[in-house]
A and B are shown apart, each in its own frame.
Chain A
């Protein structure tokens, strides 16, 4: 009510003393008070409209522009952050894939190496056994051959000696006759 105090004072000066109001007059202001109030309101309205509102509007606009700018910057930062996050996630995923791939490759290489080593060891073992068997068989054949040759040589030596002693004149003559008979069967 302190804003209405000057208007009320003005109304009190201009008003003539009247009778005590009653009824609706208790609610309605006096005409002078109303006019003074309207004038004061108009003055304040004009003052606010003319000087206060532009400043407020200007400050609000600046404030709005600053907020908009900040929001835009924040949005850009957010987008950038999201992009960086996406890149980071992509890099992490790629690194994880690479790591998994390297581990898989290493495991496969190890498996291949182990398989290869086992295969080579098996092949070498088979080859060693085969060579040993071949050598054993060859040695057996050589020994058998040597024994056979020795037996043959001994047998023939014995036969030669036996024949040399056994071929008498009669046997000689018989061999010569047999030779002559065999010549008869030959043709030139």
Chain B
């Protein structure tokens, strides 16, 4: 089966379970955050993708990390993906779940990365601004990423609007290299 179809299949299954449990928004949000943490943390990624580590041990790692912070349903769904040996596809599956969940509400996912957590009021104003800038009704998912240093970068589908300090430093680096 092609990887894209497989990811779609897992995303559809998780989506249906979450919808049946009426936790679609929460599960989608938590999966999204877990996927970003998985992408950002090399030790976590290595621990969950190492074929020499038994699945039970991997499940223990997930319980330790997520047990008290996320819903049991989300933990079980992540465990399902890990036990199926598809943990390397977890970010793509999470993105697809978030995308499908948003589409179900006639919305588009806006992945917003900042160096610090944003309060609800700021997220609301950011959502409004992104709605106007993209012409879409977006659902903002905030990812805390210290590498951006400061500012915000938002990705809606293929559109990226980067206002981070790291991006400005990178532009400065390119300008200096061109001279």
Contacts and interface: CB of A to CB of B under 8 A. Distances in A.
Is the A/B pair a real complex?
A: yes
Interface of A: 148-149, 152-153, 155-156, 159-160, 163-164, 167, 169, 171-173, 175-176, 178-180, 182-184, 186-188
Chain B's interface size range is: 20 to 34
Contacts of A152: 173, 176-177
A155 B177 CA distance: 12
B151 A176 contact: yes
Interface of B: 114-116, 118, 122, 125-126, 129-130, 132-136, 146, 149-152, 161, 163, 165-166, 169, 172-173, 176-177, 179
Q: Is the interface of A mostly helix, strand, loop or mixed?
A: helix
A176 B130 CA distance: 13
Nearest to A183: B129
Given A164-B149, A180-B125, A172 B115 contact: yes
Q: Is the interface of B mostly helix, strand, loop or mixed?
A: helix
Nearest to B119: A173
A176 B134 contact: no
A162 B115 CA distance: 15
B165 A148 contact: no
A178 B163 CA distance: 9
